Amino acid sequence: MPVHNADIAARFNEIADYLEIQGANPFRIRAYRNAARTLDELPQEARTLLEKGEDLTRLPGIGDDLAAKIREIVDTGRCSLLDRLRRELPPAVTELLQIPGLGPKRVRALYHELEVQTVEQLARAARDGRIRALPGFGEKTERNILQAVEAHASQTRRFKLAVAAQYADTLTAFLRAVPGVVQVTVAGSFRRMRETVGDLDILVTAAAGSPVIQRFTACDEVAEVLSAGGTRASVVLKGGLQVDLRVVERQSYGAALCYFTGSKAHNIAIRRIAQKLGLKVNEYGVFRGEERVAGEDEVSVYRSLGLPFIPPELREDRGEIEAAHAGRLPRLVEISDLRGDLHAHTKATDGHDCLRDMALAAKALGLVYLAITDHSRHLAVAHGLDPLGLARQCEEIDRLNQELDGITLLKGIEVDILEDGSLDLPDEVLGRLDLVVGAVHSQFHLSRAKQTDRILRAMDHPHFTMLAHPSGRLIGRREPYDVDMPRIIRHARDRGCFLELNAHPERLDLLDSQCQVAKEEGVLVSVNSDAHSTIDFANLKYGVGQARRGWLEKDDVLNTRSLAALQRLLKRTL
């Protein structure tokens, strides 16, 4: 089985952990962390890029040395540097860095002074009172460590949707190639397009005698077989993700798909409806007494309950059943509805491809317009554009639009919203653009009132078009900043500007619930890739999944409009 981006990223993060514990150069440590993040966020598999002969050093944060290590891992499944580091320190010691309050220096002290190598040994040392005696620790620190260990033990690891997709796609293709297998579907929260998933539930139908269970448990991806029987198996992959496989009868496939897709709350509501009709619903079908009346496909299950088919993304018991009863289910937006992308970067700031290459990549996906929105000067880490640099880029866009066929570039900027709510570039510069995308990139810890007022003042700017990644969250890394989002959404309605749904798998921002509020308030949402390279446009599918979870239809999404219709809307905000 192939090596996934997530596998390479895990190895790079493990290398960084070992280097931290050893007290290595911080820049070297950061290089591995950044490379791991790049791989986690990469929409295409690194092995696919290598097979195509692509130069991996074009990827952000990947130099010659790291590119060579990626190739080594893809080709051999191993990394000689990591093997050496593992020989120098016990592998379990890196897990100690996941405990809040334990940095590399403290982990080194615990390892060398108390021979603590695992989380279990750490807990025992804390309970025995041995940690408090170490220099720089003390009784309070010991108590906090014990509390953190207990909290860590109760946490269930979750995987970002795009990371889980790497395994889901590979396993689906693997299982479809098994003799006798007829259907394969990944169910659960993955099918509902949740932003993170705890495990994968895979359902298959297969002919009698198919070796699907045996092939699945013997797959190279598998690190541990938790259970295996005649019709089901549960394994843990080498990447740490648990996968449950169930072989179901063809006549029960739809019922099983409903049951294992969930959510639990949706399934409970469905069972209540069935009970009122004198029916019973379970993973094997819909029954009236002993008679099976539905279950071969999902449409039959819902029809037997007097309901139309409910798309998986809506199955959260948040009004979808009532809407289905009333004939008001939304016709959810599709990836094919998108006509353009209104947030993309080039190598002029922190992107990695030129204007022409970004335009041609967007065109290849069927888009007819692309807004170039490089960063403004305040975001120094991204080498943001000053007025002169932006003017030069606009001239280049004008020249390219004379040459390009089938794709139009729009002139924009992702301008920083400063702490006082002002924008990072002067009015005379912003006024020459097709759109201005405002974004918060600093001062995330302002109070709710100050953060909200800051954004409202920015939205009141006469050249403001759209609020980028409105909550500022990074999934698993940074919580949303404290802001009154309903007030922001209402202000966007009153001001006539738009909100972004950032499709980057680390953001997926707006939240699905906030998309629903925007829809109710009549605020158009733009599903944007925030692409920093040509391959990042592939992330649009995750943004559309989030939009569907937020009940958005084609007409609720700004960038489903034709170019002419879009330009009319943009002019109203400038």
Residue 381: per-residue pLDDT: 77
Angle at 457 between CA 504 and CA 432, to 5 degrees: 70
Closest CA to 426 of 390, 398, 453: 390
Q: Does residue 333 have a pLDDT over 70?
A: yes
pLDDT band at 118 (very low <50, low <70, confident <90, very high): confident
Closest CA to 255 of 312, 290, 297: 297
List alpha helices for 77-132, DSSP H: 80-88, 104-114, 119-127
pLDDT band at 574 (very low <50, low <70, confident <90, very high): low
* pLDDT per position as a tens digit, 351-394: 989 999 999 999 999 999 999 999 999 887 778 999 999 999 99
Fold of 335-573: TIM Barrel (3.20.20)
Residue 554: per-residue pLDDT: 98
Fold of 5-154: DNA polymerase; domain 1 (1.10.150)
Residue 43: per-residue pLDDT: 86
Q: For 36-50, 89-103, 322-336, which range has the lowest pLDDT when averaged over its residues?
A: 89-103
Q: Beta strands 408-416 and 369-372: pairing type?
A: parallel
Supply the mean pLDDT for the chain. Answer: 93
Q: What is the dihedral of CA 226, 229, 231, 236, to 10 degrees?
A: 10
- Taking the C-alpha atoms of residue 159 and residue 555, their distance in angstroms, rounded to an integer, is 31
Q: What is the mean pLDDT of residues 265-282?
A: 94
Comparing 433 with 60, which gets the higher pLDDT? 433
Instruction: List Cβ neighbours of 252 (8 Å cut-off, separation of 6 or more).
Output: 283, 284, 285, 295, 296
- Taking the C-alpha atoms of residue 505 and residue 516, their distance in angstroms, rounded to an integer, is 20
What percent of the chain stands above pLDDT 90?
A: 78
Q: What is the mean pLDDT of residues 247-257?
A: 97
Question: How many residues are listed for the chain in this entry?
Answer: 574
pLDDT band at 21 (very low <50, low <70, confident <90, very high): confident
* Class of domain 159-247 (CATH, top level): alpha beta
Q: What is the mean pLDDT of residues 292-317?
A: 96
Q: Give CA separation, 232 vs 141, 177, 239, 255, 264, in Å.
A: 46, 18, 21, 16, 20
Query: pTM value?
Result: 0.84
Burial of 444 (0-12, 13-18, 19+ CB in 10 A): middle
Q: Give CA separation, 22 vs 82, 91, 106, 117, 297, in Å.
A: 13, 13, 11, 14, 56
Is there a contact between 260 and 187 (Cβ–Cβ < 8 Å)?
A: yes
Q: What is the mean pLDDT of residues 53-74?
A: 93
Residue 461: per-residue pLDDT: 95
Pick left, alpha or beta for residue 412 (phi over 0 → left; psi -120 to 50 → alpha; otherwise beta): beta
Q: Beta strands 285-288 and 291-294: pairing type?
A: antiparallel
Question: Element (H or E) spanning 455, and its range?
Answer: helix 448-459
Residue 296: per-residue pLDDT: 96
Tokens of 443: 């001062």
Q: What is the mean pLDDT of residues 502-512?
A: 95
Q: What is the mean pLDDT of residues 430-446?
A: 95
Question: Element (H or E) spanning 288, and its range?
Answer: strand 285-288
List alpha helices for 460-511, DSSP H: 485-495
- Taking the C-alpha atoms of residue 108 and residue 44, their distance in angstroms, rounded to an integer, is 37
pLDDT band at 112 (very low <50, low <70, confident <90, very high): confident
Fold of 252-325: Beta Polymerase; domain 3 (3.30.210)
Q: Structural domain boundaries of the chain?
A: 5-154, 159-247, 252-325, 335-573
* pLDDT per position as a tens digit, 156-212: 678 999 999 999 999 999 999 999 999 999 999 999 999 999 999 999 999 999 999
Q: For 120-124, 242-246, 400-404, 568-572, which range has the lowest pLDDT when averaged over its residues?
A: 120-124
Closest CA to 54 of 34, 36, 74: 74
Residue 91: per-residue pLDDT: 67
Q: Does residue 96 have a pLDDT over 90?
A: no
Q: What is the mean pLDDT of residues 110-120?
A: 84
Residue 1: per-residue pLDDT: 64
Residue 155: per-residue pLDDT: 67
- Taking the C-alpha atoms of residue 543 and residue 553, their distance in angstroms, rounded to an integer, is 13
Q: Does residue 154 have a pLDDT over 80?
A: no
How many angstroms separate the first and last alpha carbons of the chain?
A: 52
Is there a contact between 294 and 254 (Cβ–Cβ < 8 Å)?
A: yes
Comparing 313 with 111, which gets the higher pLDDT? 313
Q: What is the mean pLDDT of residues 504-532?
A: 95
E strands, 529-565, in order: none
Q: Does residue 90 have a pLDDT over 80?
A: no
pLDDT band at 40 (very low <50, low <70, confident <90, very high): confident
Closest CA to 371 of 416, 350, 401: 401
Q: Give CA separation, 258 vs 130, 174, 255, 302, in Å.
A: 52, 23, 5, 9
- Taking the C-alpha atoms of residue 205 and residue 181, their distance in angstroms, rounded to an integer, is 6
Is there a contact between 65 and 12 (Cβ–Cβ < 8 Å)?
A: no
- Taking the C-alpha atoms of residue 504 and residue 571, their distance in angstroms, rounded to an integer, is 27
Closest CA to 158 of 194, 202, 120, 119: 194
Q: Does residue 487 have a pLDDT over 80?
A: yes
Q: What is the dihedral of CA 465, 470, 474, 477, to 10 degrees?
A: 130
- Taking the C-alpha atoms of residue 173 and residue 165, their distance in angstroms, rounded to an integer, is 12
